[in-house]
Structure 1
Amino acid sequence: MTAEPKRASEWTIHGERVIDDSRRAVLSIADVELPDGVRFEQYVLRVPGAAMVIVVDDDERVLMMWRHRFIVDRWVWELPGGYLDPAEDAMACATREVEEETGWRPRHLEKLVTFQPMVGTIDQENVVYIARGADYIGSAPDINEAERLGWIPLDQVQELTDAGAIVGAGSISGLLAVLLLKATGKL
Structure 2
Amino acid sequence: MGDDESTRWIIHGERVVDDTRKAQLSIASVELPDGVRFEQYVIRAPRAAMMLVLDDEDRALMMRRHRFILDRWVWELPGGYVDPGEDPAETAERECAEETGWRPRSVEPLISFQPMVGTVDSENLLFLGRGADPTGDAVDVNEAQEVGWVPLGELDQRIASGEIVGSASVIGLYKARDVRRSEGAQL
- Structure 2 residue 151 is the aligned partner of structure 1 residue 153: yes
Query: How much does 1:185 deviate?
Result: 2.4
- SS of 1:8's equivalent in the other structure is helix
Q: Look up the match of 1:115.
A: 113
- SS of 1:143's equivalent in the other structure is coil
Query: How much does 1:186 deviate?
Result: 6.0
| Distance in 2 separating the partners of 1:122 and 1:87 | 22
TM-score (norm 1): 0.94
Q: Look up the match of 2:16.
A: 18
Gap regions ≥5 residues in structure 2: none
Aligned Cα RMSD in Å? 1.5
| Distance in 1 separating the partners of 2:180 and 2:87 | 28
User: In percent, how many aligned pairs have the same letter?
Assistant: 57
Q: Look up the match of 1:77.
A: 75
| Distance in 1 separating the partners of 2:184 and 2:122 | 28
- Structure 2 residue 65 is the aligned partner of structure 1 residue 62: no
Aligned residues: 184
Query: How much does 1:69 deviate?
Result: 0.3
- SS of 1:94's equivalent in the other structure is helix
Query: How much does 1:143 deviate?
Result: 1.1
Aligned pairs for 1:35-50 within 5 A = 35-50=33-48
Query: How much does 1:8 deviate?
Result: 1.5
- Which amino acid letter does the alignment assign opposite residue 37 of structure 2? R
- SS of 1:172's equivalent in the other structure is helix
| Distance in 2 separating the partners of 1:103 and 1:24 | 24
Aligned pairs for 1:136-151 within 5 A = 136-151=134-149
| Distance in 2 separating the partners of 1:7 and 1:93 | 38
List structure 1 segments (4+ residues) > 3 angstroms apart after TM superposition: none
Aligned pairs for 1:90-109 within 5 A = 90-109=88-107
- Which amino acid letter does the alignment assign opposite residue 163 of structure 2? A
Q: Look up the match of 1:129.
A: 127
| Distance in 2 separating the partners of 1:130 and 1:94 | 9
| Distance in 2 separating the partners of 1:10 and 1:89 | 33
| Distance in 1 separating the partners of 2:134 and 2:68 | 29
Deviations 1:72-119 (A, max 9, x none): 000000001111112221101001100110111111111111110100
TM-score (norm 2): 0.94
| Distance in 2 separating the partners of 1:107 and 1:7 | 47
Which shows bigger deviation, 66-75 or 173-182? 173-182
